[in-house]
Amino acid sequence: MIEVLHLFPKLNGSLIELMEDLSPAQWNSPTICKKWTVKDIAAHLLDTALRRVSSGRDDYFGHAPEILSYQDLLNFLNTLNAEWVEAYKRVSPQVLVSQMSVAQDQFYDYLKTLDLKAPALFPVSWAGEDESQNWFDVCREYTERWHHQQQIRLAVGAKSILDHELYNPFLNISMLALPFHYRTKSAPEGTVVTIRVVGDAGGIWSIVRNNNSWKFLGTDSDSRNQVFIDQNIAWMLLSKGLDIYEAEQYWQIIGDYELGFHALKMTAFMV
């Protein structure tokens, strides 16, 4: 179990502090989140916080279509996100910041009430789970808020949150997707693939082919197949904010190239 709940106040506080100092031009800055500006991302973060408080704390879900597949869910969420962001274009940054401050506190208070080992309201589908425990759901919410805040910081030239305290948990959580991501890749039994994110906040994660599936290897190993990724771009690869080939100078593969390259295509978000 990865514990990140205690980090929410610092992460949330740093976002409010950042947004309070943004100029009108910075609010309208483009981001690596394709069609969204800084203000659009902030509005999205407000939306997701309010939705989770409504569904989790208040047991209110509103109208939702029948979801029969992953694509159905993805389409539904993309529509929700787009509608909210479009509506919030008419709301001032000042109102957005004040609402965000309240919503983040309510969301954090709700998360603190959860039994972290109980079943979560929503499974973490990008890790291949049909049912998840609350700790993983909390982790997912952490990565959502971490990477969107980092997108804002990158767009406005603010200090990054790539320090070990806040960034390393993001990487640890994201790497939980590795076994599911590799489910389509066959390899001889005992094959090990190791991903190394290089930097002060980085880490090492290894998976092994065992009984026709991939599993985490509990100890560091002398793997012949290794992927090295600079920590400065790892988060962008995991969130599809950067093309793999554009970042080619920041990663290296040793051993089976195809097997290693597959790691660079992994996402830890619904895309």
Digit-coded pLDDT (tens) for 160-192: 999 999 999 999 999 999 999 999 999 999 999
Domain ranges in the chain are 5-161, 177-264
How many whole angstroms separate alpha carbon 170 and alpha carbon 239?
Answer: 11
- pTM above the 0.85 mark? yes
Beta strands 213-216 and 225-230 are unpaired
**CB-based contact 151:178 (threshold 8 Å):** no
How many whole angstroms separate alpha carbon 216 and alpha carbon 194?
Answer: 10
pLDDT digit string, tens, across residues 1-51 = 999 999 999 999 999 999 999 999 999 999 998 889 999 999 999 999 999
Which pLDDT value is given to residue 106?
98
Q: Which fold has domain 5-161?
A: Four Helix Bundle (Hemerythrin (Met), subunit A) (1.20.120)
Mean pLDDT calculated for residue range 82-109: 95
How many whole angstroms separate alpha carbon 188 and alpha carbon 181?
Answer: 17
How many whole angstroms separate alpha carbon 164 and alpha carbon 228?
Answer: 18
The residue length of the chain stands at: 271
What are the residues facing 224 on neighbouring strands? none
pLDDT digit string, tens, across residues 240-255 = 899 999 999 999 999 9
- Place 220 in a pLDDT band, splitting at 50, 70 and 90: low
Which pLDDT value is given to residue 25?
97
Who contacts 266 (Cβ-Cβ below 8 Å, separation ≥6)? Answer: 177, 178, 181, 237, 238
Please provide the CATH number assigned to the domain covering 177-264: 3.30.1050.10
